[in-house]
Structure 1
Amino acid sequence: MKRLYSNLTVQVLTAIALGVLVGALFPAFGAALKPLADTFISLIKMLIAPIIFLTVVLGIAGMGSLKKVGRVGGKALLYFEIVTTLALGIGVLVANLTQPGAGVQATAQAVLQDSKQTAEAAKYTSQAGDMNWVEFFTHIVPDNVIGAFAEGDILQVLLFSVLFGLSVNHMGAHGQPLMRTFDRLSHAMFGVLAMVMKLAPIGAFGGMAFTIGKYGLATLLPLGKLMLVVYATMFLFIFGVLNLILRYYNLRLWPYLTFIKEEILLVLGTSSSESALPRMIDKMERYGCSRSVAGLVIPTGYSFNLDGTSIYLSIAVIFLAQAFNIPLSLTQQLTLIAILVVTSKGAAGVTGSGFIVLASTLAATKVIPVESVALLLGVDRFMSEARAITNVIGNGIATLVIAKSEGEFDENRHQLALQGRSVPEELQPEPAAMLPRVERPAPASIDSE
């Protein structure tokens, strides 16, 4: 019984259930618990930048061939574009077939007449007006490297990490003392992460209590069909499209989902995919991917491989068109997908990113009034969990695909993971990264997941 209670999965599940109960029975108190979730997410965020830096530098320096670094990055970006475009197309198709916006016209008009919600929508509209793909790509280059780390800008940190890793790679043997130091720092950072994760149940409890307490379950009723369609589409995308991708590479979906169950539950409780980012890098390494591939693909995917966000955006736009009786031709819908391919990439690391990207898309198409996003304000928080979970699952699968295609997948480590006895790459007899490892005593027992 004690062993069961000490399991992180059980603790997070219990915390989520208690959060729902507290939010439903004591709404005001539940809404006041938001700082618990925010503080936990901040603890995770403070580790993201250094972990990405150390992991990417160690991975690229250990690849040996710079040509290989470019090939891995190119494959990852190509995969991201194909899969996210497919997700967008599926979202548009499902929204047209299910018509989730039919029957909510009265609610839509009432929402637009609510001055408070319209003002809230206007805030997102003003933010969206400044978003464009040129600004997005130029923003990747930081004005100040220290500032990029301080602000936790994933793309900027990733760019600097790649450049630094390439430089150390070019140093050859002269860079090995630095790599040994980075290796020790990497272990220390993951040690800090392990301590922070002990607070995951508290963060999940606070996040769920806030969501239920502030918005209430009654908020779901008018837009229940939309929520059902979004959740069902993401479920089908994961167990249909992503499952088939894994099958093609001789991998199975369910064992993978079981292996990252703690990360899935963490995202469910906090509604933040960033809360699982550092752990996903470590988990993918334990599941068989090389450190170099996991360290490069996972952080990049958080900006370019947003499957859940893509599905939500495409369904939401069609839903708003239906709710406000605005017919969209096939050409307009194809144009919509093309614009979403670009604007969805701006969803990384931006507060309220779903609304900002949605508003920017509506502003670009000029077909649906941008103020209509106010209709989604009440239920967006409930759908953010589905978006974040799908994003996390999709990024892990992208890492597996790239690792398999590059021959950077360790089947022995994979089998250990399936048996619940996974060990990180650096404890393997023959590490994938071609760099000297720090001597350390053999572990008394293999870590259990």
Structure 2
Amino acid sequence: MKLVATATDAPPPPARPWYHHTYVQVLAAILIGGLIGYLQPEFGVALKPLGDAFIKLVKMVIAPVIFLTIVTGIAGMRDLGRFGRVALKAFTYFLTFSTLALIIGLVVANVVQPGAGMNIDPASLDTSKVADYAAKAHETTIVGFLTHIIPTTVVSAFADGDILQVLFVSILFGIALAMVGDRGQPVTDFLEALSEAFFRLVAILMKAAPAGALGAFAFTIGKYGVGAIVKLATLVGAFYLTSALFVVVVLGAVCLANGFSIFKLIRYLRSELLLVLGTSSSEAALPSLIGKLERAGCAKPVVGLVVPAGYSFNLDGTNIYMTLAALFIAQATGVHLDLGDQLLLLGVAMLSSKGAAGVTGAGFITLAATLAVVPSVPVAGMALILGVDRFMSECRALTNFIGNAVATIVVSRWEGELDREQLNAALNGTLPAAEAPALAAAE
């Protein structure tokens, strides 16, 4: 069904006041939260529960939204060969651009040299604060990661809220339901109706987005202060600039080659991006992203597979951070890495970036896992960047989020499952008012 308005449609409802739009409210909340954290740091830190509570509210519905989207999408396909093609194309895209992000981070670190001249003795660093991250990284292996994808029970995947486990269960159940054929149609109909109810629930939860963004951002500024950025301005600036160039140049070229504009996509997803910025969590906007990409003309089965999988395997921002931060630590501690060492670092990062997927604090943990395998770079050097990691996590989350949105549209086009007219209408802002309540709340 096309969502593009026609001349016979009823007149559009009057435009809502600008201050009713979610992106305006979230932006205002971020600014207010920043001021509170700067002027009243203790009060800003005390507001942390607001951000934590909102993220918990969203995570509460992520598992069922992913399950319902994937199962109804695969069951509606019936052609399991088509599902296999989508998965192959998605993971080909993920591997290509994740590796490219790692290489770009490596190149920038060599050109900018953010840690050069610091001459820090690793023995003088306080490593107590990074010990927990190093321990978690040591526990994370490729084999352990692969076996962890399989949940203990079907229910435990949803109880723990593990995205990869939910993805695994959803795909298997969707395939099974598709194989049942017409006898499974009542189940599919029920799940589609249930999906509408959950997206209405998402709409209700999104009303709390401004409060969550305010609390999370006030805590970040109040806890760490803007002074932490000044101390390591070269590293933070290099990371933000590299991520911005990756989005505009690399992802922008991908978008251009596939017939749409990265800038229009960013504008279309502005509410979600501001929410990610305020909460430092890309998961906070995952349910809304699924709905918006479907509304923009991407096929439901493609969205259901690519978006959740991308949250674990298509971490462009995290990958840029890993190689850039690793070389910063080496430069700051006076460790010289020749081409062979850097290629080893790149290879290890390619594997460890998958091994820590879906883990809380994945960026920092993955960095620890990478450094643990490259003995020439001291893990203790991670203490240098712990103070600014929170500020860089926001950029990681934004870059990851945009990368997954681009990936979903591109894979939809490759599969011939992209409604061009609907995509253009969405990106140009000419779609009629959202029919799905969750989408209406986000616009």
TM-score between both structures, scaled by the size of structure 2: 0.93
Could you report, residue by residue, the CA deviation over 1:293-348 in whole angstroms, capped at 9, with x for unpaired residues? Answer: 00110000000000000000010001000000100011111111111111111343
Percent of residue pairs bearing the same amino acid type:
50
Give the drift of 1:113: 3.1
Q: Report the residue type matching 2:185 in the other structure.
A: Q
Task: Quote how far apart the aligned CAs of 1:13 are.
Answer: 0.5
CA shift, 1:171, in A, is: 1.1
Letter in 2 for 1:266: L
Report the equivalent of 1:237. Answer: 246
Structure 1 partner of 2:3: none
Structure 1 runs not aligned, ≥5 long: 428-442
Q: Which letter does structure 2 place at the counterpart of 1:244?
A: A
Letter of the aligned partner of 1:234 in structure 2? S
> What residue in structure 2 maps to residue 174 of structure 1?
183
Q: Where in structure 2 are the equivalents of 1:279-294 lying within 5 Å?
A: 279-294=288-303
Instruction: Provide the residue aligned with 2:48 in structure 1.
Output: 34
Aligned 8 A contact 1:112 1:372 in 2: no
User: CA, structure 1 residues 205+375, in 2 after alignment: closer, same or farther (shift >3 Å)?
Assistant: same
Deviation at 1:421, TM superposition (A): 4.4
What code does the residue aligned with 2:265 have? Y
The question of 1:98 aligning with 2:112 is answered: yes
Q: Does the alignment pair 1:71 with 2:80?
A: no
Q: For residue 113 of structure 1, what is the aligned residue in structure 2? A: 124
Aligned match of 1:124 in 116, 133, 149?
133
Aligned mates of 1:211, 1:288 — CA distance in 2 = 36
Distance, in Å, in 2 between the alignment partners of 1:360 and 1:151 is 23
Structure 1 pair 250–2 and aligned structure 2 pair: CA distance change class (3 A)? closer
Corresponding residue for residue 340 of structure 1: 349
1:246 alignment counterpart: 255
Deviations 1:360-395 (A, max 9, x none): 101111111111111111000001110000000000
The residue identity in structure 2 corresponding to 1:46 is: M
Give the secondary-structure state (helix, strand or coil) at the position aligned to 1:103: coil
The separation in 2 between residues aligned to 1:424 and 1:344, in whole angstroms, is 39
1:62 alignment partner AA: G
Contact 2:115–2:331 at 8 Å: present in 1 too? yes
Whether 1:58 aligns to 2:80 is no
The 4+ residue runs of structure 1 with deviation greater than 2 A are 111-115, 346-349, 418-427, 446-449
**Residues 384-395 of structure 1: matches in 2 within 5 Å?**
384-395=393-404
Q: Distance in 2 between matches of 1:188 and 1:104?
A: 56
Q: Give the Cα–Cα distance (whole angstroms) in 2 for the partners of residues 331 and 114 of structure 1.
A: 27
Of 354, 367, 392 in structure 2, the residue corresponding to residue 383 of structure 1 is: 392
Q: Does 2:161 match 1:152? A: yes
Deviation of 1:424 after TM superposition, in Å, equals: 10
What is the distance in 1 between the residues matched to 2:345 and 2:116?
A: 20
- In structure 1, the partner of 2:63 is 49
- Counterpart of 1:18, as a letter, is I
Rounded Cα–Cα distance in structure 1 between residues aligned with 2:180 and 2:432 = 30
* Structure 2: gaps (5+ residues): 1-14
Quote the offset at 1:120 in angstroms: 1.2
Corresponding residue for residue 367 of structure 2: 358
Match of 1:219 in 2: 228
The secondary structure found in structure 2 opposite 1:221 is helix
Quote the Cα distance in structure 1 between the aligned partners of 2:23 and 2:357.
27
Amino acid corresponding to residue 397 of structure 1 in structure 2? V
The separation in 2 between residues aligned to 1:424 and 1:160, in whole angstroms, is 34
Aligned length: 427
Give me the whole-angstrom Cα distance separating, in 2, the residues matched to 1:259 and 1:59. Answer: 24
Label 1:425 to 1:17 Cα distance change in 2 as closer, same or farther (>3 A).
Answer: closer
Query: Is the CA contact (8 Å cut-off) linking 1:343 and 1:357 kept in structure 2?
Result: yes
Q: 2:264 aligns with which of 248, 255, 259?
A: 255
Residue by residue over 1:180-208, the C-alpha shift from the partner in whole angstroms, topping out at 9 and shown as x without a partner, is: 11011000000000010010000100011
Retained in 2: the 8 A contact 1:289–1:409? yes
Residues 118-138 of structure 1 show CA distances to partners (whole Å, capped at 9, x for unaligned) of 111122112111111111111
C-alpha separation in 2, matches of 1:448 and 1:260:
9
